Amino acid sequence: MEYQFRVTPKGTYLHIQVDGDNAPETVLRYLREIYESCVKLKCPDVLVEENLEGPGLDLGEIFGVVAEGSKSVWPVVQKIAVVDVNPLHDQQNMKFAETVGVNRSVNVRVFRTVPEAENWIAAQHPRPRENPGP
């Protein structure tokens, strides 16, 4: 599958869509591109909609990719919501990736759907309180 990386600014975050082969190199590539996009667009929060083709990575590969990738995102990327839209990938493995990231001080959460991820990101940006007046 051809690699594609698309960035759409959505107010307080960047919606990033990634397509390609499910391989450690692909994930590390898109993590670098997320970092570059956040710097360029001065936006520290991202929602990643990942659509990688092929079998899921094994736990050792997941650990290695997240451990390596987490070094390059913080402190520029401050919040990461991830949705793996490939229904063949094991959601438990995605939760393992989340745990590895969180243990490395990355504010990352994995969600089943884009709306769930959008809600989490929105909740991270509380609305200013309105002035109640006299």
Segment 94-110 mean pLDDT: 92
CATH of domain 4-123: 3.30.750.24
**18/52 Cα distance (integer angstroms):** 7
Domain segments of the chain as ranges: 4-123
Is the whole model's pTM more than 0.75, yes or no?
yes
Which tens digits make up the pLDDT trace of 18-66? 999 999 999 999 999 999 999 999 999 999 999 999 988 999 999 999 9
Q: Number of helices (H) and strands (E), helices first, in the chain? A: 4, 5
Q: Answer whether residue 95 shows pLDDT above 90.
A: yes
Segment 105-129 mean pLDDT: 87
Contacts of 22 (CB under 8 A, 6+ apart): 52, 53, 54, 55, 56, 57, 86, 89
Strand 45-53, strand 79-84: pairing = parallel
Q: What are phi and psi of 49, to 5 degrees?
A: -105, 100
DSSP run (H or E) holding 75: none
**134/125 Cα distance (integer angstroms):** 27
